[in-house]
Amino acid sequence: MIPTIIEDVRARKVLDSRGNWTIEVDVITDYAIGRCAAPSGASTGKYEARAFPDGGVEKAIVEVEETIAPELRGMDSINQEEVDRTLHEIDGTDNFSSIGGNTAVAVSLANAKAAAASHGLPLFQFLGGNFSCELPYPLGNVIGGGAHASNSTTIQEFLVIPVGARDIAEAICTNAEVHKKLRDELTKRCGNLGKGDEGAWAPAMSDEEALQALTRVCDLVEQETGVKLRLGLDVAASQFWNEKKQRYVYGDGRELTPEQQVEYIASLIEDYQLYYVEDPVQEEDFETFAELTSRVRALICGDDLYVTNVDRLRRGIQRSSTNAVLIKPNQCGTLTDTFKAIKLAMNEKLVPVISHRSGETTDETISHLAVAFSIPIIKTGVIGGERIAKLNELIRIAEELTPSRARLARLPKV
């Protein structure tokens, strides 16, 4: 028998970083095991795949063992598209509400890892071939509020990207330095300091105070390391959009119309030279996204807007809503769907940014996908075991790439 034939598919529940159960799947071939655990969001997009079926993780495990495993046994793990098509057929809905998107993504990615391991190759090389040698810049969440922490900022994530880093280790270390130095700066400004779900500091301060503190710390780190940093935001605007009032309602009492929201975000981009802004507008409003994108020079990225779904991405492309798209495999449920979204984005000159979720495990698959598909930016968080798992894997991948070939991707100029 060829060593890539699937012999069995097994599932178990494991803890995620929030202390919730999630699903982990092993795909077993004659020769190797591929293992993947699914992450979970807290500020999930309305249109993303449903994470778990009715009955939660327990039911997802039963689905794998009783329905999915019998169908996949005997199939060739090399044939990723067939595996993913089978998952869609078993599910029979358009958002994986029957078996769960997390069930699907764990099986799908575990299969890819099993196929790679059966060939004795790391996943990034198995998927990307010998040409994949670019490492993504880490976009790190260093201050966070919104749905990820209480009593903190309204904007969900304040991010840094070390645009001047010369290699992956320097890039990772620069972000960590910002996170370290922020502790003192934020404590000075607001006293006690907590942390949010992704390991970012959660200070009781306004969004602009957070931006000011972050700017100061980035200046300090730049002076010390010589590595230029730029700032970014994940506004996660759907979380504070009030449908009834048709206003964005901020923690400090401001209530902004969509037009005022565009003005406000554009002013933040200018004042703080923001490189990246995710979900500045709520997830239904493709037009207001387009208005902002046409006005500013920054990456405007859709997360809840697109939910890694090619149909929604096409709608955004038609309207020029954004110039970047967030890629989260568990939003769409399979590797094939994830790849289609990345390919569509690249064909249309949108920048793909691959991302962790707020609830994570130490699974490091997204680091391999970033390198395999030449994705220039990875959003991962900066510290905490489940965050550094992705970053440290990039260091290991760089090592496999022989020093002369391993280089950081070319960052889009904005």
Q: Which strands form 33-37's sheet, in the order they lie side by side?
A: 6-15, 21-29, 33-37
The beta strands (E) that lie in 16-136 are given as: 21-29, 33-37, 134-135
Q: Are 326 and 353 in contact (CB under 8 A)?
A: yes
Cα-Cα-Cα-Cα torsion 313, 318, 324, 328, nearest 10 degrees, comes to 0
Sites for ligand PGA among residues 32-51 (CB under 6 A): 41-44
Minimum separation from the CB atom of position 387 to ligand PGA (A): 12
Considering only residues 91, 234, 337, 360, which one is a binding residue for Zn ion as defined by CB under 5 A? 234
Considering only residues 358, 365, 367, 374, which one is a binding residue for ligand PGA as defined by CB under 6 A? 358
The dihedrals phi and psi of 71, each to the nearest 5 degrees, come to -75, -35
Contacts of 388 (CB under 8 A, 6+ apart): none
198 a catalytic residue: yes
Q: Is 207 in the site for Zn ion (CB under 5 A)?
A: no
In the list Zn ion, ligand PGA, none, the entry touching 330 (Cβ below 5 to 8 angstroms by class) is none
Strands 21-29 and 377-379: unpaired
The dihedrals phi and psi of 177, each to the nearest 5 degrees, come to -65, -40
- Sign of the dihedral through C-alpha 140, 143, 144, 150: positive
Q: What distance in Å separates the CA atoms of residue 390 and residue 387, rounded to the nearest whole number?
A: 6
**CA nearest neighbour of 305 among 367, 241, 382:** 241
Sites for Zn ion among residues 252-291 (CB under 5 A): 278
* Number of residues engaging ligand PGA in binding (CB under 6 A): 10
Minimum separation from the CB atom of position 74 to ligand PGA (A): 35
Minimum separation from the CB atom of position 133 to ligand PGA (A): 27
Q: Is 303 in the site for Zn ion (CB under 5 A)?
A: yes
Q: Is 303 in the site for ligand PGA (CB under 6 A)?
A: yes
In the list Zn ion, ligand PGA, none, the entry touching 132 (Cβ below 5 to 8 angstroms by class) is none
For ligand PGA, give the closer residue by CB, 63 or 303.
303
**CA nearest neighbour of 61 among 30, 99, 32:** 99
Minimum separation from the CB atom of position 239 to ligand PGA (A): 9
For ligand PGA, give the closer residue by CB, 217 or 236.
236
From 113, 181, 328, 379, active-site residue: 328
Tokens of 179: 């996170």
Q: Is 308 in the site for ligand PGA (CB under 6 A)?
A: no
Interacting stretch for ligand PGA, rule CB under 6 A, among 8-16, 84-92, 132-140, 355-363?
A: 355-363
Minimum separation from the CB atom of position 42 to ligand PGA (A): 4
Strand, coil or helix: what is 282? coil
Strand, coil or helix: what is 54? coil
Tokens of 180: 């370290």
Q: Which residue bears the tokens 């020029």?
A: 320
For ligand PGA, give the closer residue by CB, 27 or 292.
292
For Zn ion, give the closer residue by CB, 99 or 327.
327
Q: Is 185 in the site for Zn ion (CB under 5 A)?
A: no
Q: What distance in Å separates the CA atoms of residue 327 and residue 354, rounded to the nearest whole number?
A: 5
From 198, 278, 386, 393, active-site residue: 198
User: Chain centroid to CA 39: how far?
Assistant: 10
For ligand PGA, give the closer residue by CB, 42 or 149.
42
Tokens of 327: 């890629």
278 a catalytic residue: no
For ligand PGA, give the closer residue by CB, 128 or 376.
376
Q: Which residue bears the tokens 């249309």?
A: 348
Q: What distance in Å separates the CA atoms of residue 118 and residue 76, rounded to the nearest whole number?
A: 11
CA distances from 177 to 213, 219, 330 (A): 14, 12, 30
Minimum separation from the CB atom of position 378 to ligand PGA (A): 12
For ligand PGA, give the closer residue by CB, 185 or 198.
198
Minimum separation from the CB atom of position 77 to ligand PGA (A): 28
Considering only residues 357, 368, 387, 390, which one is a binding residue for ligand PGA as defined by CB under 6 A? 357
Residues that bind ligand PGA in the complex, under the rule CB under 6 A:
41-44, 234, 236, 303, 355, 357-358
What are the residue numbers of the active site?
198, 328
Residues that bind Zn ion in the complex, under the rule CB under 5 A:
234, 278, 303
